[in-house]
Structure 1
Amino acid sequence: MRKKIATISELSEAIPFGVDIEGVELVILKIGEQVQVFHSRCPHQQANLAEGRVEKGMLVCQMHQWKFDHQTGQRSGGKECLHKFNPIVENDNIYLLETELADWENKSETGSLAQKKRTIEDLPKMKGLPVIGNIHQFDFSNMHQEMSQVADKLGPLFRLNFAGRPVVVTNDHHMNQQLMKMRPKLFRRGKKLAEIFEEMGIEGVFSAEGEQWVNQRKVTAQALNMQHLKTFHPTLMTVTERLKNKLDSMAVAGEAINIQQEVIRYTVDVTTNLAFGYDMNTVEETGDVIQQHIEKVFPAIFRRLNAPFPYWRYVKLPVDKSFDASMKIVTETIKEFIAKAKEKLKTNPELKEKPGNFLEAMLLEQEKEGKFSEKEVVGNVFTMLLAGEDTTAHSIAWAVYFLSIHPDIQEKMYEEAKTVLKEEAYLREQEDGARLYFAEAVAMETMRMKPVAPFLYLSALEDVEIDGLEIPKDTVFLLNNRHAAWQEENFSNPDQFEPERWMPSGCPMHAHHKPEAAAPFGGGARFCPGRGLALVEIKMVLSMLCKNYRIELITDPETIRENVAFTMSPSDFEVKLHPRKMTDNKVEMTSSEQQK
């Protein structure tokens, strides 16, 4: 017997196509007259290869850029090889033998490592007080560092009691990676987080689980894939030019610049253009803009997530009232996006074959198959806006901070930008972005030292065993992903900002370099689909800044703190930007005067 898995007409030339056939995830490639079918999980971190791209005959994983031959599945430069299936193509239909699918399911079932069995009760625990447990012992705005300090005393795996809620904290990157790889089948986001999102009316891909997540993830991944980003590049240039023009005027005036606020406006504009086809232009606006309301969301989620009981359901504090007002404004704005997108689809029927953005694709899926409710459409627009604005902007702000205190690294960025961008003020050719190697290294090193998502709450969906640890169903894990990236056994000189460790030529200056110990985009099937967009934005802004200005930090660096409110951002700091043409001319004039 055989099983139909897809049709030829569904496939696009050299674009990965993903399907799930009774729990077996496949990626199908059509290149020329050939059709190849592989198991779709990358052997490195289980990322879905259907979300990757085909480049020069190689299937490229979007997560860590591992490359596999599109015919054989062999990894370039490695021993790993994708499991290859044998498709049967008849007319427009593509089939696989059911016995082949069954053999793969049997082969892929994995048991736990043969280690001494442990239970959760065997793990070390912090001493606490009756009823409230350990909740009073943590400053939640600094919890990532305090968890690391506890790990130094109790070991990388220990137990806490948060007001009667038992939590297992893991600071070990091996354990964290395994937990993330087991999503979404064996682990899910913490149930409390999902409840908070649902209560806020945010029913998007971030908090979705099961079949609901599968449907939403597919549309999200397609909106953020590299093919879409290529067509979006002209719009990205427009937003970047607006930011540069604004910074030019502030630099010439000698103004102190809160760079974080400026890049948040930038990322809002990028996200609304890419995902919704709507140009908000908050970069050039003054006064009250939507980002001032969006930035209240993550702190509210974090505050409620760590509250011992849901007080806000009974008593609204001033901060809750302010949050509710902001949520209303953001929701009304989102409904405007949706109404305009629906009108555009009505007046442009050709978009039904090729939607121009994420929102149009969601609305068409809703119209065709009824997969998405109106609440899910609103929730996903909210999720895209929230994730696109906050995390990338914080990473850019942290990178600017590091560049401002490391002028030598800033000069290396300038030399690279001068070489790649030539006479241009910012990146105009999308393909040239791949040549900004040092800019990407700066981005990766920034995210190693200052990951904007240092925590992840997960909950076990069933009894499972990992490395000999017996984990009962509903066990809650808190993954401190930041800890491992600061350990000497994973990175030499872990407290030093050294972008060279991420250069393509390798890391000859370091004895230890384990990139997998830093997981700024998560891992497994649910790794962040916005990774590609985030890196494009970060490289675009940093190369523009370093090509055109010298960055001077005017805030005392000792006063700049890590603020954790679900995401980790720097406390407010200010810089001055000195236009390079002016300062370079001044240097040249001084030099010529000395010669006279």
Structure 2
Amino acid sequence: MAVVLGSYTMPLLGISIFIATLSYISYKLLSSYLHKWVEMKPIPGVPGTYPFIGNALQFKTNAGDFFRQIEDYTHTFFDAPLLKIWIGPIPFVILFHAETVEPILTNSVHMDKAYVYNFLHPWLGTGLLTSTGHKWRQRRKMLTPTFHFSILTDFLEVMNEQAEILVEKLKSQAGKGPFNCFSYITLCALDIISETAMGKKIYAQSNSDSEYVKSVYKMSDIISRRQRTPWFWPDFVYRYFGNRWEHDKTLKVLHTFTYKVICERADLISSNASDSDTDQGKRKRWAFLDMILKTTDEEGNRMSDHDIQEEVDTFMFRGHDTTAAAMNWALHLLGSHPEVLSKVQQELQEVFGTSDRPVNTEDLKKLKYLGCVIKEALRLFPSVPFFARSICEDCHINGFKVPKGAQAIVITYALHRDPRYFPEPEEFRPERFLLENSVGRPPYAYIPFSAGLRNCIGQRFALMEETVVLSYILRNFNVEACQKREELRPVGELILRPEKGIWIKLEKRVSQTSSN
């Protein structure tokens, strides 16, 4: 009997250790959950919160309905000092006032992205958007020089060329009634970021059925759906019961495309081809990828192939989708306000006359009212309608204690509608951003590109692109919106999009000549 019992000693010991470990982990998780529940109890919350599942069952499954639900919460609790919701066992504080947003975004302790950003890791890795701590600081320091204004101006040529192509595409719709302009603008933005970020022409405006283009949108939808359903947050549950097969299939398309481009550019640089002249005798264009391939840290180490792919995938996603959405919203607003459109076109007339010449750096400085239009459009329809951070140490927000491990969601869409700083907030008034009208406005009342240390590294690139593309469209066409504001139904996923596109009418401007 002793021999028989001895043969079971090791399996029994292993089982005992497993049970003990599982019990300890369960105890720690339960203790942490109960601690947060007690600590955050004084904070006003959404009714109908249940233990362990929180408010998850109350959330709408449709992305558009879910966003309107969050928007309704911000209206209902606008006068509350703070608001909390629970998504599964994780508490979130909802921030949409300048005085509650500022202490989080200015504190270098709370720089980690929230848990839900983990679902971006398979696609974007831990690049600039999703990384934390030392890696983020090192990567930001390495990449910041590539966004210097003098380098960005080199990309004006690409922006002008693609904007010209867009105008030619739009001419086929001019005078023919309502059409959805969303894909036209988006494909133009994709062509711009592809050539500037990767040095690769993908001809998206000529090939709207591109597999890569479709995969970008499909992946965004897949990730957003998972973020809204906490029962699919555990990887093993998602793998066996979720949409993992479609996720992995889409991911393969995205990574195969960017990996191929990176290899091509690396070969060009190693053979010094990137420094040679083109067939036309002009200096070959540089892309962000070229600079990243040559960038080194303080110790002289270059980024690995994996590191480079993380950043290229991040640039491709964040560098076109956000800008495209912003330009589409701006076109709707201009088409809905002919008096604003007239002012913009008058400014364009003063700068360009009847010429169809490209936009240069001096023009960008002169187009001040168009700049105000872009800022006001981003106020009403911020491309990133909300973003989230982890609370990395116990802190106080507006008098309430928020424990370490909670998450903070900044609802940019609601923050930009604070009537204290934007009277009649639903009105489209570009004059709000004239210098004299911006005096005294808190810096954290308007943050379309986030703020603080983790602000968007590409914001100057985005504003430059929007100015160039919109100036081309408005120099060539009059715009009329075909939807009322209430018909737009914004969908707040990773990017703020209209549920059924942006429908406009275009008429060719008779004052435009073919050349000057």
Give the TM-score taking structure 1 as reference length: 0.71
> 1:27-426 to 2 correspondence within 5 Å?
120-128=40-48, 129-139=50-60, 140-152=66-78, 155-183=80-108, 185-193=109-117, 195-200=118-123, 202-251=125-174, 254=176, 256-310=178-232, 311-317=237-243, 321-348=245-272, 356-365=286-295, 369-370=300-301, 372-425=303-356
Matched, 1:551 2:467: no
Q: Structure 2: which amino acid aligns with 1:568?
A: L
Range with greater deviation from structure 2 (269-278 or 254-263):
254-263
Residue 186 (structure 1) shift:
3.4
Alpha-carbon separation, structure 2, partners of 1:258 and 1:504: 34
8 Å Cα contact 2:329-2:502 kept in structure 1: no
Question: Is the 8 Å Cα contact of residues 501 and 513 (structure 1) preserved in structure 2?
Answer: no
Which letter does structure 2 place at the counterpart of 1:276?
M
Per the TM alignment, residue 119 of structure 1 is displaced from its structure 2 partner at its CA by 5.6
Displacement after TM superposition at 1:472 (Å): 2.6
- The equivalences for 1:551-590 within 5 A come to 551-555=479-483, 558-571=486-499, 572-581=501-510
Q: Larger % of strand: which?
A: 1
Q: Which range moves more in the overlay, 217-226 or 416-425?
A: 217-226
Conservation of the 8 A alpha-carbon contact between 2:354 and 2:511: no
Question: Which residue, out of 418, 432, 435, partners 1:501?
Answer: 432
- The DSSP-based 3-state class of the residue aligned with 1:343 is helix
Q: Calculate the TM-score normalised by the size of structure 2.
A: 0.82
Which of the residues 478, 486, 495 maps onto 2:417? Answer: 486
Residues 1:457 and 2:388 are matched in the alignment: yes
Aligned AA (1:574): W
**2:288 corresponds to which letter in structure 1?**
F
Instruction: Find the aligned partners of 1:360 and 1:124 in 2 and give their Cα distance.
Output: 50
What does residue 436 of structure 1 align with?
367
How many angstroms apart in 2 are the aligned matches of 1:178 and 1:426? 46
Gapped runs of 5+ residues in structure 2? 1-37, 61-65, 277-283
**Over aligned residues, Cα RMSD in angstroms?**
2.8
Q: Is the 8 A contact 1:169 1:479 kept in 2?
A: yes
Instruction: Tell me if structure 1 keeps the 8 A contact 2:111–2:132.
Output: no
Letter in 1 for 2:138: N
Counterpart of 2:222, as a letter, is A
Q: CA deviation at 1:255?
A: 6.1
- The residue matched to 2:491 in structure 1 has which SS? strand
Q: Residue 259 of structure 1 contacts residue 575 of structure 1 at CA under 8 Å; is this kept in 2? A: yes
Relative contact order higher in (CA < 8 Å, ≥ 6 apart):
2
CA contact (8 A) 2:326 2:382 kept: yes
From the superposition, tell whether residues 366 and 374 of structure 1 become closer, same or farther in structure 2 (CA, over 3 Å). farther
Q: Deviations over 1:152-208 (max 9, x none)?
A: 36x14122221222222222222212211113x333111341x21223463311001
Q: Which structure dedicates a bigger proportion of its chain to helix?
A: 2
What's the CA shift for 1:143? Answer: 4.2
Residue in structure 1 matched with residue 18 of structure 2 by the alignment: none
Provide the residue aligned with 1:30 in structure 2: none
Residue 473 of structure 1 and its aligned partner are, at CA, apart by: 2.0
Q: How far, CA to CA, are the matches of 1:239 and 1:391 in structure 2?
A: 17
Aligned positions, number: 457
| Segment drifting more, 212-221 vs 435-444 | 212-221
Residue deviations 1:334-370 (CA, integer Å, cap 9, x gap): 0111111111111118869x99332123223479844
Shift of 1:399: 0.5
Structure 1 gaps of 5+ residues are: 1-117, 585-596
User: Structure 1 residues 166 and 557 mapped into 2: Cα distance closer, same or farther (>3 Å)?
Assistant: closer
Distance 1:561 1:335, change over 3 A: same
- 1:127–1:574 CA distance, 2 compared to 1 (3 A): closer
Change (3 A) 1:541 1:289: farther
Tell me: CA distance 1:503–1:378, structure 2 relative to 1, closer, same or farther (3 Å).
same
1: CA distance between counterparts of 2:446 and 2:257? 36
Q: Which secondary structure does the structure 2 equivalent of 1:234 belong to?
A: helix
